Amino acid sequence: MSRRVLVTGASRGIGRAIAIELGAMGFDVAVHYRSQEQQARETLEEVRKRRAHRDDAGEGALLAFDIADREATERALLADIEARGAFFGVVCNAGVTADGPFPGMKPEAWDRVLHTNLDGFYNVLRPLVMPMVRARRGGRIVTLSSVSGLMGNRGQVNYSASKAGLIGATKALAQELAKRQITVNSVAPGLIDTEMADEAPVEEILKRIPMRRLGRPEEVAAAVGFLFSEAAGYVTGQVISVNGGLV
């Protein structure tokens, strides 16, 4: 039986790369999106191509909901579990930014980032954890934090707070689920070549990166793939940075 994995925010960028990586590893991937249905379909098609050669290839699925909407998220996930069964793994990748200096930060910018990035952890995982436990197959949970959550970043007090909170939540949940053989880890990317980097002062940041280049979404996906592998079965409560040496 194929093992099902949910990747949130998988319509583009890092999420798409993660979905494709996990599909190539043999997982049956549910591609989540909020509004970009066409891009999500393209992701799912690429996942299916990577799995086509496998005897246990699943069809995958598309799931649409806003992770900041607790009730809608729960309804969508419980309906999917009823139809297709419990997930083996979850990648909490979906997130937003609303950057700006803290003294001038509007309340809605703070709320939107915290409700999506941090509340989304609860909204997505709470309906999924007990079905994972009851399935008695172990499992994998990976959250996507950020270098901003580890060291802070000017103009990103809200984003840094949300990503630092994710790390704390990840470490605590890892303690709760370890005896169930469900690992919970976080990957903290640095500056990655995605649309989000278009709004960053790239040239200035590159001076602080020893490798002097942006990371690729596939390099973040590879770290997630390792955490989903059998080799990582004794790795839990950890944060893996993918940042080119940025300190």
- Report the alpha-carbon distance of residue 69 to residue 71 in Å, rounded: 6
In the set 33, 122, 159, 234, the catalytic residue is 159
Given this model, what pLDDT does residue 84 score? Answer: 94
User: What are the residue ranges spanned by the domains of the chain?
Assistant: 4-242
Residue 54: per-residue pLDDT: 61
159 is catalytic: yes
Write down the pLDDT at residue 137.
Answer: 96
Is the pLDDT assigned to residue 57 strictly greater than 60? no
pTM of the predicted model as reported, rounded to 2 decimal places: 0.94
Determine the Cα–Cα distance for residues 65 and 2; give it in Å rounded to an integer: 24
User: What is residue 203's predicted lDDT score, i.e. its pLDDT?
Assistant: 77
CATH top-level class of 4-242: alpha beta
For residue 53, what pLDDT band results from cuts at 50, 70 and 90? low
pLDDT over 80 at 67, yes or no: yes
Q: What is the mean pLDDT of the chain?
A: 93
Torsion sign (Cα): 21, 22, 24, 25:
positive
